[in-house]
Amino acid sequence: MGLALDEPKDTDKTFDIDEIKFVIEEELLTKTGEIKIEYTQNPFGGGFKIESANPLSADAGSDACGSCSC
């Protein structure tokens, strides 16, 4: 899974959290379950860590980012 800027579509679910709008395909949300997004810092920089209740396998449509920080 990864993060991208996108406009909501009819098949998307949207969430407004702390004045930030998150958009996810409803079908993907059904597969992943609850998703947690955290910003993390380490000596090499910072990035977003994305975890889901039901992690997707590499062949289930996830991008190259996988479970790393994006």
* Tokens found for residue 48: 């977003």
Residue 28 lies in a domain: yes
Question: Is residue 3 in a domain?
Answer: no
Residue 39 lies in a domain: yes
Residue 2 pLDDT: 84
How far apart, in whole angstroms, are the C-alpha atoms of residue 64 and residue 18? 28
Residue with tokens 């949300």: 29
Domain range for residue 40?
Answer: 13-52
Question: Does residue 17 belong to any structural domain of this protein?
Answer: yes
The answer as to whether 34 is a domain residue is yes
Residues paired with 20 in a beta bridge:
17
pTM of the model: 0.64
Please report whether residue 70 resides in a domain. Answer: no
Q: Is the residue at 58 inside a domain?
A: no
- Alpha-carbon distance of 11 to 37, in angstroms, equals 21
The total number of structural domains in the chain stands at 1
Per residue in 25-70, pLDDT tens?
999 999 999 999 999 999 999 999 999 999 887 655 444 444 444 4
The answer to whether residue 32 sits within a structural domain is: yes
